[in-house]
């Protein structure tokens, strides 16, 4: 089974430079939109596809800089005997070092025998495919793969529509299964002749007058047409190809009329059957047209759960279901930084499988805010809804997502996501000290920490920083969420029975909430979890904190502004 060991891309569309070592089985490319995932699939397809010509435009050059050629190189391993033929490819065989991921000038001990195929496009827009190796270059030798070999290794591709794979069209999965032996040309020619012979011009009465006129005109001009011209089907106009034969169900209904999801599942299953003949499979938007349970079935058909991969798959996905179902070594994160694209295998970051499955949506974002708990997530969501309602762009518009740090796990989760190449910030309370080593590692990796000052938890910050009217609303929300008697009991516990809910409310009506009352309420809210759920704090953020944001103390707004500015910076 021929396998792509190394892919290198230079100056192709959104990618200025990329070097990637894919795995032998499922390679699912994930990451934010416009990160270059589909471009990577296109590069593999264009380089390895069995095409005699391609159409390129200036827009295919990175930054439309057509003075810098496009170069796409694919190094192939696990070569079959024809590709290792010394007479045909001897000078072009190279050695691939699986440990270092490098290509050596020639095969040798500890190296895998490999071939590197390169597609080059210069400013004249003419594509050129060549095998490349230092030895051949030194000898001044150039050649391409033979057409038979190119056809054999050409990848199958499943895009938004896969109708062609349900026919015996050239390059389809069905044609791979039959190894090109489905020679239907003679039978199709016979059918074309039968159709021509069965055509009865007598049934087309409206043609009679025209035929007489043509016969008369031909006679006047001395054109030899015989006694009368006829309206028959032109033999040359009936054209059947392999694509004219397609799969139908038992009722004769073409399978191309299946629903999108069903046809994709069937094509994936056929690709599995043809794995020994079509070893590379490209899938755009793996989840397209599929419900979550059918995504799982598709991944199973592709061999995602098998120890020995049946074929090499390159896919793109924006589905959390896909991320959750695949193992870390099958997920490859595409990032773009400093004019260079990188593809990072998730497993290279260490033991991150738990983090990935708990926060699959995070792998599809541009920026990640790890919130210490549900309260911070709720506040961020509520403020986002409020500001969006005033015309501001949402967190989602900036490509940001929120992750629950689950208290003490905040820094470990943030470090795991950061190690995968993501841009990560932390929003946390300061009532407990941060783990020194974990915080140092996070900051050294470029992360940012936003925390309330004065050793306060979020609830303490809100009751301290908001206006009297907003504090009254927070207290009312807590009563609705918990029960008035319970809130009263909590206040009595915190104050050692020196005050009560009704006393605080009465004093607030006359004098507002003084510093001591605010501290007491904040302590009670933090200790007993008055607003701890995401839903409750989301309501607080949307209906209380957001509308009174401009009047709040800087101790609250400076932290939140810092987080929001950080999110916005990530989209630039």
| Full DSSP string of 356-412 | HHHTGGGGG-SEEEEESSHHHHHHHHHHHHHHHHTTPPPTGGGTEEEEE--GGGHHH
What pLDDT does residue 271 have?
Answer: 73
Query: How far is C-alpha 538 from the geometric centre of its chain's CA atoms?
Result: 29
pLDDT of residue 477: 97
Mean pLDDT, 10 residues at a time, the chain of 572 residues: 94 95 96 88 94 89 93 96 91 94 92 96 94 89 91 82 63 63 60 66 66 72 72 60 63 70 77 72 90 91 91 94 95 87 90 86 92 96 96 94 93 92 94 95 96 95 97 96 95 96 94 95 96 96 97 97 95 74
Name beta bridge partners: 248: 254
Residue 76 near residue 96, CB atoms below 8 Å: no
d(CA 83, CA 79): 6
- pLDDT value for 76: 97
- Going from N- to C-terminal start, the domains of the chain cover 3-25+42-158, 185-237, 365-572
Distance spanning both ends of the chain, measured CA to CA: 43
Distance CA 258, CA 264 (A): 9
CA distance 273 to 388: 50
Phi-psi sector, 407: left (phi>0), alpha (psi -120 to 50), beta: left
Dihedral sign (CA 264, 265, 268, 270): negative
Q: How far apart are CA 118 and CA 129, in angstroms?
A: 6
Element (H, E) at 20: strand 15-20
Show the DSSP H helices in 114-207 as ranges.
Answer: 134-139, 147-153, 173-177, 185-198
Q: Is 29 strand, coil or helix?
A: strand
CB 445 within 8 Å of CB 500: no
Q: In Å, how far from its chain's centre is CA 30? A: 4
């Amino acid at each position: 089974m021929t396998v792509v060991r190394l892919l290198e891309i230079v100056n192709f569309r959104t990618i200025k430079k990329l070097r990637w070592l894919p795995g032998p089985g499922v390679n699912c490319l994930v990451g934010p939109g416009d990160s270059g995932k589909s471009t990577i699939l296109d590069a593999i397809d264009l380089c390895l596809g069995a095409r005699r010509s391609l159409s390129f435009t200036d827009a295919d050059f990175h930054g439309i800089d057509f003075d810098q050629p496009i170069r796409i190189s694919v190094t192939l391993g696990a070569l079959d005997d024809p590709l290792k033929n010394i007479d045909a490819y001897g000078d072009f065989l190279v050695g691939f070092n699986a440990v270092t991921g490098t290509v050596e000038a020639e095969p040798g001990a500890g190296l895998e025998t490999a071939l590197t195929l390169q597609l080059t496009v210069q400013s004249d827009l003419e594509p050129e495919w060549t095998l490349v190796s230092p030895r051949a270059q030194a000898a001044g030798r150039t050649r391409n793969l033979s057409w038979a070999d190119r056809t054999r290794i050409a990848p199958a591709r499943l895009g938004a529509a896969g109708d062609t794979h349900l026919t015996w069209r050239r390059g389809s999965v069905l044609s791979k299964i039959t190894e090109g032996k489905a020679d239907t040309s003679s039978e199709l020619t016979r059918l074309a002749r039968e159709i021509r012979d069965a055509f009865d011009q007598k049934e087309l009465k409206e043609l009679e007058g025209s035929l007489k006129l043509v016969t008369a005109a031909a006679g006047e001009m001395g054109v030899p047409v015989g006694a009368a011209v006829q309206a028959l089907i032109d033999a040359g106009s009936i054209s059947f190809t392999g694509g004219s034969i397609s799969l139908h169900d038992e009722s004769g209904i073409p399978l191309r009329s299946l629903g999108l999801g069903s046809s994709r599942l069937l094509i994936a299953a056929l690709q599995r059957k043809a794995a020994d003949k079509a070893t590379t499979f490209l899938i755009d938007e793996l989840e397209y047209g599929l419900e979550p349970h059918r995504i799982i079935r598709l991944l199973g058909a592709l061999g995602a759960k098998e120890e020995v991969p049946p074929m090499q798959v390159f896919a793109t996905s924006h589905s959390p279901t896909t991320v959750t179902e695949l193992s870390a070594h099958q997920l490859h994160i595409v990032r773009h930084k400093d004019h260079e694209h990188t593809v990072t295998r998730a497993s290279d970051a260490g033991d991150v499988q738990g983090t990935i499955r708990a926060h699959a949506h995070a792998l599809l974002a541009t920026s990640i805010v790890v919130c210490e708990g549900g309260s911070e997530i709720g506040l961020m969501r509520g403020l986002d809804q409020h500001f969006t309602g005033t015309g501001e762009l949402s967190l989602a518009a900036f490509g940001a997502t929120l992750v629950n740090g689950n208290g003490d796990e905040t820094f470990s989760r943030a470090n795991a996501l950061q190690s995968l190449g993501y841009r990560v910030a932390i929003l946390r309370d300061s009532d407990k000290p941060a783990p020194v080593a974990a915080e140092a590692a996070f900051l050294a990796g470029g992360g940012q920490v936003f925390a309330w000052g004065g050793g306060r938890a979020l609830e303490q910050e809100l009751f301290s920083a908001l206006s009297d009217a907003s504090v009254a609303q927070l207290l009312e929300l807590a009563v609705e969420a918990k029960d008035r008697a319970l809130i009263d009991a909590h206040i009595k516990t915190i104050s050692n029975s020196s005050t009560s809910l009704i006393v605080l409310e009465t004093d607030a009506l006359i004098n507002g909430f003084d510093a001591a009352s605010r501290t007491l309420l904040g302590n009670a809210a933090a200790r007993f979890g008055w607003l701890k759920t995401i839903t409750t704090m989301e309501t607080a953020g949307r209906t209380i904190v957001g509308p009174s944001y401009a009047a709040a103390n800087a101790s609250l707004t400076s932290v939140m502004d810092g987080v929001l500015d950080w999110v916005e910076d990530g989209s630039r």
